[in-house]
Amino acid sequence: MKSDFRPEKKLTPEYLERLREIVGPENVLVDPEKIIDYSHDESTQTEWPRLPEAVVTPTSTEAIASLMKFASEMELAVTPRGGGTGLSGGCIPLRGGLVLSLEKMNKILEMDVANQMATVEAGVTLGQLIQAAQEAGLAFPPHPGDESAQIGGLISTNAGGSRAVKYGGIRNYVRGLEIVLPSGEIIHLGGKIIKSSSGYNLLHLFIGSEGTLGIITKAIIQLLPAPAFSRSLVIPYADLDRAIQSVPAILQAKIIPLAIEFVEKDVILITEEYLKKSWPSRIGQTDLLIILEASSEEELDCLSQQVAEVCLERGALDVLVADTPSKQQQILEIRSKIYEAIKPVTVEILDIALPRSEIAAHVRRVKEIEAELSLWLPTFGHAGDGNVHTHITRVSRERNQLIPLEESVWKEKAIKVKKWLYEDGLSRGGVLSGEHGIGVIKKAEFLHFTEKAQLDIMRQIKKIFDPRGILNPGKVVD
């Protein structure tokens, strides 16, 4: 795959001077010590990071437009970058060239309470948006990952998160976009509108395009009224099957939780030790974490009781309630830090998305492969929306101890795991990625498993928007 990448033109002193003229000398970085952090994202693979030749941090859409016009004329590779929190290598500058970081375009331009919409620059972080919405008496319902992630990056990957079961992914909240095309042209899509039947929907073409078609500079984001009350339930089960089988029963009871997560105890124990904090459940092998929200305490009590009855009827060992903000925060912190706790032994995270009814069978396949290969494959995810995160590691697990494997051994096993689990997931009506995106890490499998006709259309779309192939080259499709 790497052999397909063209060597990037070197930035000459004349090119660098022109960049400084366009974006300002203070917004061009070339010192290797200052640009090393722009060579990677949060994925664990060591073979993909690349050092860019320069990092540019523009402060306006107009500067980005001028920059892209220059890059197009000179055929310089440009890799857009948000917060760098991705897990698929989507912002790695594979062909060197320029990293275009949106970090300085971080203004919340408007909080429109009447229309319940926010207009923000692409570098605004998820945390900033959540806080601004709260201050306006509103809420940004999805919580698609790390709060240091930037809005442009979240839109570029169509980020999901645990709340997608009730509120959907970020695609459901993007109403308008300002885009700079590779040619330097600026286009505006959508707006403060709910409905549109006005031509091809280019807005949704850019959402999830991973920075390969254009650079998102501004976004109009739908907000909603903030929920009055919320509560977290931790429900332990003796095994995964019973836990997963409770999920459709909850939904069939006309209860739509904010989140329904499944997580096995082995990773909880490791994360407890990592954070020095305690998870409320000490029994069983698999827990459901269910978050409910309601407009009154009475409604919340009623929902909690209904969920408890459904789960206990299907084999739950207990129902533990976190009804104070501090208890809820501790549970959410442990759940959100699992990846961080096991990252030192993680090779890659899969994020296969399946029909909900197929989760249990797919995870059984994970366990079969884990036993066959003697490779620890911790698996958890979003039971409510079918997004399963299997972590391929470089260790085996015996008697609750992690045993390191030789590099040649775990690499050979990791290749088999990816192949077998992608085959299993696709055979069940799933897709390779539910929220992380393809980037470069999943690219080989994406090209292998996707229909040729689909790939041909995607390549034609890429060629229309980026005929010189300068924007985020080497990602998704060429």
Residue 183, CA distances (Å) to 72, 139, 235, 456 in order: 6, 36, 53, 22
Nearest to 366 by CA among 237, 260, 264, 235: 264
Parallel, antiparallel, or unpaired: how do β-strands 98-101 and 78-81 relate? parallel
Distance CA 218, CA 120 (A): 6
pLDDT of residue 8: 60
Domains, in order of start, for the chain:
2-104 (3.30.43.10), 108-225 (3.30.465.10), 229-336 (3.30.70.2190), 340-427 (3.30.70.2740)
- Output the pTM of the full model: 0.93
Distance CA 50, CA 42 (A): 14
Cβ atoms of residues 8 and 53 within 8 Å:
yes
The C-alpha angle with vertex 362 and arms to 361 and 363, in degrees rounded to 5, equals 95
Cβ atoms of residues 392 and 416 within 8 Å:
no
Q: Where are the beta strands (DSSP E) in 281-344?
A: 286-294, 320-322
pLDDT in tens, the chain (478 residues): 343 445 466 789 999 999 999 999 999 999 999 999 999 999 998 889 999 999 999 999 999 999 999 999 999 999 999 999 999 999 999 999 999 999 999 999 999 999 999 999 999 999 999 999 999 999 999 888 789 999 999 999 999 998 999 999 999 999 999 999 999 999 999 999 999 999 999 999 999 999 999 999 999 999 999 888 999 999 999 998 899 989 999 999 999 999 999 999 999 999 999 999 999 999 999 999 999 999 999 999 999 999 999 999 999 999 999 878 888 889 989 999 999 999 999 999 999 999 998 998 999 999 999 999 999 999 999 999 999 999 999 999 988 899 999 999 999 999 999 999 999 999 999 999 999 999 999 999 999 999 999 999 999 999 999 999 999 999 999 8
Give me the half-sphere count of Cα atoms (radius 13 Å) on the Cβ side of residue 460: 6
